[in-house]
Chains A and B, each alone.
Chain A
């Protein structure tokens, strides 16, 4: 019983959520606001999507997910292809979407 209480106490100090994963996609053909609008709409349709950032300057689309969920590359690729764009690369970064926003802002 004492061990059980100790274990439950330890679990209480574990953060409820790990930091949200950020998925970055390099996209070709991303030249206008309408392009970004279509891509954002597609990606926000995923239930796991928490937020989306699009940078025309960096040809980058980044999204964070809820509760550290992941979205498979194939589904992301299909979403962007269905939006009419070409995906060059998909990678996951160990930073928050706000960090991505700051990084993009710093490069402007």
Chain B
């Protein structure tokens, strides 16, 4: 089922490992905690901008809405997608010094774009696997948006490292290396970014640069 995704994901993962850069953080998860609200915003190097808000009635389920803009840096093509989405924690491993999760999500929305007329029904499907301790973090996220006019997928791999093990009330600092692969001609090749992530309590900010010197910023608030 995830054959084509896996191929791309492994390609990105292999590229990352070969890059020998080690970075890292705690994962941006589509479900933070039960009875919690999560608001996220991301500016991705001029190729993507996304805003999301989710409410989780349970630790394994959240529902919400989002807006995604995809801008091709290889052409003038743009895509604006508004969607409603359900996130599901398929499995969690609570280990003594670590946690690992598998998430899946699906959604429906409307999309407009510069290369087709009117609006289309957008269908979204995604998957995330992550593993983290208080010092290392790894995640793989794939997110697919499809309609009768397009099929765009964004695959992201992150590897993170924290110079110190933070505690609950501490400011957590992570260095992260990210590799992102866009299908559909949004960006040619794998886009790498080096990021610094800071978080304390329910707030986090992550910022850095891609290999082309373009800024990438992500913010998340949980309450």
Contact = CB atoms under 8 A, between A and B. Distances in A.
A56 interface: yes
Interface in B146-181: 165-168, 172
A56 B58 CA distance: 22
Interface string A10-36: 000000000000000001110111111
- Contact-residue bracket for chain B: 20 to 34
B97 interface: yes
A82 to B, nearest CB: 6
A84 B60 contact: yes
Interface in B117-155: 132-134
B201 A33 contact: yes
A83 B168 contact: no
B26 A34 contact: yes
B32 A57 contact: no
Contact of B33 (A27, A28, A35, A59): A35
- Contact-residue bracket for chain A: 20 to 34
B199 interface: yes
Interface in B7-49: 26, 29, 32-36
19 contacts: A28-B96, A29-B95, A29-B98, A31-B132, A32-B99, A32-B132, A32-B134, A33-B200, A33-B201, A34-B222, A38-B36, A38-B59, A41-B36, A42-B34, A56-B134, A57-B165, A59-B97, A84-B92, A84-B94
Interface of B: 26, 29, 32-36, 58-60, 89, 92-99, 132-134, 165-168, 172, 199-202, 222
